[in-house]
Structures are given as structure tokens and as C-alpha cells.
């Protein structure tokens, strides 16, 4: 039994939800998202809540039930509040700057990495003296923010000895001991 799928999704003020067969469109102050719901899942709106029901107790319907509910919840929360990911650049000489939607990263390679971001993702770089540079990504689409953050992290993953590289703020790295004398 899917416990997540049984929970209704609350619709906050200022968010419109439209159901057209198996395509659900959510519109809010930050943007508009749409998602195709899989077969066997029915979606209804009951007094400012989205309720999902599954057609049968098949394994595929159970798994899709929780997945669809989580996707809808992320969409509703994204268009009302938005999603933010913060990346920290740890290492000597690692820098980040942005001009509009172009992110310029200096990660210890012989060249700078210039990344053109989608217009839905807002980027901000924070560089304070004595602290590691931080890249802040904000958008209403959770999947897109996560994908861009993972791509940036993939340019230089944190290494386990000194922890140099691009890591998420608050991420705990497993450190290894170096050579013993």
C-alpha cells in the first residue's frame, strides 16, 4: 500500500490546477508546469486538495501512485515557493562568476568552464573574502534545478582526501586518511 500516494496534495492560494484527461497543468506566480499522469491513476480536485486514486493493487500501479503524487506535490510547491540549490566551490583558485545566464567557473583546469543556463533557472554567485565561492540556483522546476546542479557538480566532484571540488552546501563528505608515515 502506497502511503505517500494516499496523502492529498494541498493547493495554496494563487495556484491554479487544470486536469485535461491524463495531463495536469499547474500555474502559479512563479511559472507554469505540466505533467502527464500514467494510466491507472485517476486525479480529482476536492476542496483545494488534489486526490490521487489507483485503479488496482498491481505492483506497477502502486509504484506509479506514489510517484505521481510526489511529482504533483513538487510542481505545486515549485510554482508557489520555488526550489533552490546551493553549490560550494572548495579549492585554491576556484572561482565562479555570472553574466546574466552565463556561468563562468574556474575549477583548476587550464581553461574556464562557461555554462549557458536555461532561462527558467536563475543563477547567482556569492564570493566573499576568506570564504568559498557559492553558486545559488533558483527555479520553479525541481527537476531542472537538480539536473543543472548535478551537471555543475560533475565538472569537478569532491575528492575524498582534501575535499576539493564542487559540493552541495551542507553535503557531508566521507574523508579518507592520507599516507601514513
pLDDT of residue 25: 95
pLDDT of residue 3: 82
- Beta bridge partners of residue 180, listed in sequence order: none
pTM comes to 0.89
pLDDT of residue 181: 58
For the chain, which residues score pLDDT lower than 70?
Answer: 1-2, 181
Of residues 168, 172, 171, 121, the one with CA closest to residue 148: 121
pLDDT of residue 137: 96
Residue ranges of domains in the chain, CATH in brackets: 3-80 (3.90.930.12), 83-168 (3.90.930.12)
Amino acid at each position: 500500500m502506497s502511503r505517500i500516494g494516499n496523502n492529498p496534495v494541498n493547493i495554496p492560494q494563487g495556484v491554479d490546477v487544470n486536469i485535461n484527461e491524463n495531463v495536469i497543468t499547474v500555474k502559479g506566480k512563479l511559472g507554469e508546469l505540466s505533467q502527464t499522469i500514467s494510466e491507472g491513476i485517476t486525479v480529482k480536485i476536492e476542496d483545494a486538495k488534489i486526490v490521487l486514486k489507483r485503479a488496482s493493487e498491481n505492483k506497477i500501479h502502486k509504484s506509479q501512485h506514489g510517484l505521481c503524487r510526489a511529482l504533483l506535490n513538487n510542481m505545486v510547491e515549485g510554482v508557489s515557493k520555488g526550489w533552490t540549490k546551493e553549490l560550494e566551490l572548495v579549492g585554491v583558485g576556484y572561482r565562479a562568476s555570472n553574466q546574466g545566464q552565463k556561468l563562468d567557473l574556474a575549477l583548476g583546469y587550464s581553461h574556464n568552464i562557461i555554462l549557458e543556463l536555461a532561462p527558467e533557472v536563475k543563477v547567482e554567485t556569492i564570493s566573499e573574502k576568506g570564504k568559498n565561492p557559492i553558486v545559488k540556483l533558483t527555479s520553479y522546476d525541481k527537476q531542472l534545478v537538480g539536473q543543472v546542479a548535478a551537471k555543475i557538480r560533475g565538472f569537478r566532484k569532491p575528492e575524498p582526501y582534501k575535499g576539493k571540488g564542487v559540493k552541495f552546501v551542507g553535503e557531508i563528505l566521507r574523508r579518507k586518511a592520507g599516507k601514513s608515515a
